[in-house]
Homo-oligomer: A and B are copies of this chain.
């Protein structure tokens, strides 16, 4: 794996996190990555591609991290709680990546490229919600609606934690996961 490529991605990650995508210039990226301007273009065809790669790889890592240890053969309830908890835990261990991933997902040109992509994590959550409903464990709500609400809640939690608006210790996390479950359990 190329060392420079990684330096560039890390520099981009930190700068976008600190200043917002809009205010990050390629010159800044080069300086922070300790690399010549032109080197960036040996690895990424354009600024958009660079940012999109950053997004993709962070998202990929997050999905792997969250699904690590996920056991599709366990009872549904356990799997739901596992995914909820695992997502929050990942957000706490990698808050920059977690938030950045969700911020970048809102950027128009990234939305454009991500259209119709469904991640294994989305699939797992959808799958488990569907199963839970079949087993009469959940309220009779649209799985999509549940999915949206749960995701929105988790993102908001991690974001608020990052900005110090709230503090998420393990006890609190437990509570939020339970609340999530209570919201939709039959």
Contacts and interface: CB of A to CB of B under 8 A. Distances in A.
B156 A142 contact: no
A22 B19 CA distance: 14
Interface string A1-29: 00000000000000000011111000000
Contacts of A149: 153, 156-157, 176, 179
A82 interface: no
A4 to B, nearest CB: 18
Most B CB contacts (10 A, CB to CB) among A154, A157, A182 go to A182
Contacts of A157: 145, 148-149, 152
Nearest to A18: B108
A139 B103 CA distance: 31
Majority-rule SS of A interface residues:
helix
A155 interface: yes
B106 A106 contact: yes
Contact of A165 (B107, B139, B144): B144
Contact of A160 (B22, B103, B148, B179): B148
A141 B106 contact: no
A179 B186 CA distance: 10
28 contacts: A19-B108, A20-B107, A20-B108, A22-B22, A23-B108, A103-B106, A139-B175, A141-B176, A141-B179, A142-B166, A144-B165, A144-B166, A145-B160, A145-B172, A145-B175, A145-B176, A148-B156, A148-B165, A151-B156, A152-B155, A152-B159, A153-B156, A156-B156, A179-B184, A180-B183, A182-B182, A182-B183, A183-B183
